[in-house]
Chain A
Amino acid sequence: AQSVAQPEDQVNVAEGNPLTVKCTYSVSGNPYLFWYVQYPNRGLQFLLKYITGDNLVKGSYGFEAEFNKSQTSFHLKKPSALVSDSALYFCAVRSRGTSGAGSYQLTFGKGTKLSVIP
């Protein structure tokens, strides 16, 4: 079974400072990895994904994530945080090796609340 862990329920960072939201995963075989963001009273929005290739993935709004196979991690980063980045962030994983009708299921972490302090 695949799983995702987001070890921090909340991350606080000052505006202008770099931010990191942590994610580790467990799957059979190689993973597809995703980050989503949820603003208050909204649905989840896709930020970025890792499929294959370069371990550093760039996404929307200046976010990037680094895939580390040996540490089974996919941490989300941004060089300079904005107050508008304050939201709930979800990491998700899908095993590349699965097939059949259920192969497109994503397993989500519990989410990390990011607060950027002015």
Chain B
Amino acid sequence: NAGVTQTPKFRILKIGQSMTLQCTQDMNHNYMYWYRQDPGMGLKLIYYSVGAGITDKGEVPNGYNVSRSTTEDFPLRLELAAPSQTSVYFCASSSGGTSGGLGTQYFGPGTRLLVL
């Protein structure tokens, strides 16, 4: 049971380039989330998904896109990288329902992205 895995661990992008951050969980969780963490700012929710085929915007969605074709995978797409997207990105998952985690989220190790 690997939990939540993310790739790559670190990436440098040039302005205007695109990339996909991968996230996979093996806990059969319905809910998945993407956050960005900036120094002194805590975590900001980018997008989340409540199940395969269903996604919704979080607090800071501009410049990002997501898809959820399977329960396990929740990739985050950056289409035109900008310096403001330099950050550490975390994927998380949780179960739902009254018998589930009631919001307890399990996090991946993160992807550090530098846009120059």
A→B interface (CB under 8 Å): 9, 32, 34, 36, 41-46, 49, 51, 90, 94, 101-102, 104-106, 108-111
A43 to B41, CA, bound (A): 15
CB distance from B91 to the nearest CB of A (A): 9
Q: Complex: how many Å from CA A49 to CA B94?
A: 14
What are 11 A-B contacts with C-beta separation under 8 Å? A36-B107, A43-B107, A45-B107, A46-B106, A49-B102, A49-B103, A49-B104, A101-B56, A105-B58, A108-B43, A111-B40
Q: Report B's interface with A, CB cutoff 8 A.
A: 4, 31, 33, 40-43, 45, 48, 50, 54, 56, 58, 90, 92, 94, 96, 102-110
With A44-B90, A110-B40, A110-B41: A104-B107 Cβ-Cβ less than 8 Å:
no
Q: Within 8 Å CB of A45, what residues of B?
A: 107
Question: A102 is contacted by which of B41, B56, B108, B109 (Cβ under 8 Å)?
Answer: B56
- Contact at B108–A43, with CB atoms within 8 Å? yes
Min CB distance B70 to A, Å, is: 18
Pair B90/A106 contact, Cβ less than 8 Å = no
- Distance, CA A74 to CA B51, complexed state (A): 31
User: Could you tell me the distance in whole angstroms from the C-beta of A7 to the nearest C-beta in chain B?
Assistant: 13
**6 closest residue pairs by CB, A with B:** A43-B107, A110-B42, A44-B107, A108-B43, A94-B103, A108-B42
